[in-house]
Amino acid sequence: MVKFGNLVFHYRNFLFPVFYAMLFIPSPPIFSNYVIAIILGLVIAFKGEAIRGITIGLVYIIRAGRQRRIYAEGLFTNGIYAHCRNPLYIGNILILLGLGVVANSLIFVVICVPLFIFLYQAIVIAEEDFLQGKFGDAYIEFKSSSNRWFPRLKGLVSTVREMRFNWKRVFIEEYNSTYLWMTGAVLLIMRNYRLREGSEAFEIMLPYFVALLVLLLLCYFLIRYLKKSGRWKG
């Protein structure tokens, strides 16, 4: 599994966009009422984004990869990591699950989401092997006090209160991925609205959908400008 996890990590930037594309594949619906699917899916996705935001806002994250191989300069054991070793991955899984529900795609939720989780599990096992080899007893001790997937809730509120939250860092680190998944959600909603309500109703709503897409794009470029110009620093 370690070798497979390293392989998945190496090609993760090519594999995961495939899941994004599969959201748009026709599928039997989960709910007969697509509005319920949209609301529930967005709630799940925003919970995933909230987990990512809290994690990044509390602890500075140096991306654990170099030349598409698992790598880490240091061992993160504080912040959310004191309660769960892979909070960012949990956030990603929830975002993808949420998008699958927004798409109202039974195939995606039943097949693609479990496959996505399996691939992440392989990556995590490979990362743990690397970290244990590099940090030895310190990582073994960390593993014994922090769960791999399910967060330890005891003391979580105190952890958040005791640390300084850097909201600018959240925007800087998350603007790209957030733009992508939120744009995907809008496109999925547009598709389902047209399928369920018909072309005439869709044409009436189209300017509002376009305006939302433009707003997301403007927010993307604004945050990108603030980051690249140095006005915002994490």
Lowest mean pLDDT segment, chosen from 27-36, 74-83, 137-146, 170-179? 74-83
Number of domains in the chain: 1
pLDDT of residue 62: 63
> Does 26 reside within a domain?
yes
Q: What is the mean pLDDT of residues 149-156?
A: 80
pLDDT of residue 146: 84
Among 178, 164, 149, which Cα is nearest to 81's?
A: 149
Read off the pLDDT band of 184 (50, 70, 90): very high
> Does 84 reside within a domain?
yes
What residue numbers bound the domain in which 23 lies?
A: 2-228
pLDDT of residue 205: 95
pLDDT of residue 64: 58
- Where is pLDDT greater, at 68 or 168? 168
Q: For the purposes of burial, counting CB atoms within 10 Å of the CB of 56, is it exposed (0-12), middle (13-18) or buried (19 or more)?
A: buried
Q: What is the mean pLDDT of residues 51-59?
A: 88
> Does 151 reside within a domain?
yes
Among 31, 40, 34, 24, which Cα is nearest to 188's?
A: 24
pLDDT of residue 65: 59
> Does 20 reside within a domain?
yes
Compute the distance between CA of residue 44 and CA of residue 230 in angstroms, rounded to an integer.
33
> Does 119 reside within a domain?
yes
**Distance between the two ends of the chain, CA-based, in angstroms?**
35
> Does 13 reside within a domain?
yes
> Model confidence over 96-109: pLDDT tens digits?
999 999 999 999 99
Read off the pLDDT band of 224 (50, 70, 90): very high
pLDDT of residue 72: 75
Lowest mean pLDDT segment, chosen from 70-79, 111-120, 147-156, 210-219? 70-79
DSSP the chain: -HHHHHHHHHTHHHHHHHHHHHTTS----S-SSHHHHHHHHHHHHHHHHHHHHHHHHHSPPPPS-BTTB---SS---SGGGGTBS-HHHHHHHHHHHHHHHHTT-HHIIIIIHHHHHHHHHHHHHHHHHHHHHHHTHHHHHHHHHSBSSS---TTHHHHHHHS---HHHHHHHHHHHHHHHHHHHHHHHHHHHHHHH-HHHHHHHHHHHHHHHHHHHHHHHHHHHHHHTTSS--
> Does 233 reside within a domain?
no
pLDDT of residue 222: 95
> Does 234 reside within a domain?
no
Give the mean pLDDT of the chain: 89
